[in-house]
């Protein structure tokens, strides 16, 4: 005995089709990954007396005081899928002596980017298993769903305390509370490679690339900080991201 099946209402048919498409996208790993959250804390601080680079140090007296902050950064995934995160990242440091607008501060060139290139990744490094991002490698990290990553990142930040030049004055930090926030831009993937890996790695999680910012930290600089040694100012130009950071809590 045959049972007649009537036509589905158009609205229901559209919902079923959309649901099937979403399910297929989830199976391919094409659903966008949740954005990770970055939390930072200052673990230690020290001061040194800076001298310009490329000059004979023995002929120059200490010229200004530099504050060195050592921080630990952890990533948290509040989503329901694991995040597959490229390890390569570039740092921008924002600072201010008052709450509100924060400006980028130049950093030593050796701390702006880690050992992993921030150039767009067009093919997988030889250490990465193309079928399994969880295999040990230094190019990708996985943050479990609803969990904090098990790979805390150590980050050094340099802030000039009383640096003045003829045409440029950094803010004088002496006797002020300093507000500091970090921004990390993680390595971008070539669209073709990202699409390919999203299909292969869908069962392990969703790939995320982009820019994220930490919470804003506070540090009180004494009125007369004393440097404990000599350091060389090797700050690189500030990368331009198109705008200043506005608001500490956003």
| pLDDT in the model for residue 28 | 42
Which residue from 106, 80, 74 is spatially nearest to 91, judged by alpha carbons? 106
| pLDDT in the model for residue 168 | 65
Please, what sign has the CA dihedral across residues 219, 223, 229, 232? positive
| pLDDT in the model for residue 11 | 46
Average pLDDT per run of 10 along the chain, which is 250 residues long?
Answer: 42 41 41 84 92 57 82 95 93 91 84 64 94 93 93 89 73 94 95 95 95 96 84 60 46
| Strand 230-233 with 37-52, pairing | parallel
Max CA separation in the chain (angstroms): 102
Question: Could you report the per-residue pLDDT of 114-168, keeping only the tens digit for each?
Answer: 555 668 999 999 999 999 999 999 899 999 999 999 888 899 999 999 877 656 6
| pLDDT in the model for residue 32 | 64
| pLDDT in the model for residue 184 | 94
3-state SS, residue 24:
helix
| pLDDT in the model for residue 19 | 43
> What is the distance of C-alpha 231 from the center of its chain?
26
Residues 71/159, Cβ–Cβ less than 8 Å: no
Distance between CA 35 and CA 105 in Å, rounded? 25
| pLDDT in the model for residue 188 | 94
| pLDDT in the model for residue 241 | 46
| pLDDT in the model for residue 59 | 53
């Amino acid at each position: 005995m045959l049972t007649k099946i009537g036509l589905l209402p158009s609205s229901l048919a559209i919902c079923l089709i959309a649901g099937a498409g979403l399910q297929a996208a989830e199976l391919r790993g094409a659903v966008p990954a949740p954005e990770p959250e970055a939390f930072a804390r200052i673990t230690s601080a020290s001061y040194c007396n800076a001298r310009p680079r490329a000059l004979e140090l023995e002929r120059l007296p200490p010229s200004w005081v530099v504050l060195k902050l050592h921080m630990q950064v952890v990533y948290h995934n509040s989503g329901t899928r694991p995040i597959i995160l490229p390890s390569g990242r570039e740092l921008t440091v924002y600072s201010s002596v008052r709450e509100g607008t924060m400006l980028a501060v130049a950093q030593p060139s050796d701390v702006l980017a880690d050992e992993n290139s921030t150039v767009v990744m067009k093919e997988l490094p030889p250490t990465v298993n193309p079928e399994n991002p969880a295999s040990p490698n230094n190019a990708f990290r996985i943050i479990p769903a609803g969990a904090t990553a098990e790979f805390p990142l150590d980050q050094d930040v340099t802030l000039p305390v009383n640096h003045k030049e003829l045409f440029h004055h950094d803010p004088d930090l002496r006797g002020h509370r300093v507000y500091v926030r970090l921004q990390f831009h993680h390595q971008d993937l070539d669209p073709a490679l990202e699409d390919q890996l999203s299909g292969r790695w869908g069962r392990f999680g969703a790939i995320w690339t982009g820019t994220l910012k930490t919470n804003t930290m506070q540090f009180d600089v004494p009125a007369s900080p004393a440097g404990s040694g000599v350091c060389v100012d090797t700050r690189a130009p500030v990368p331009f991201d198109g705008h200043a950071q506005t608001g500490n809590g956003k």
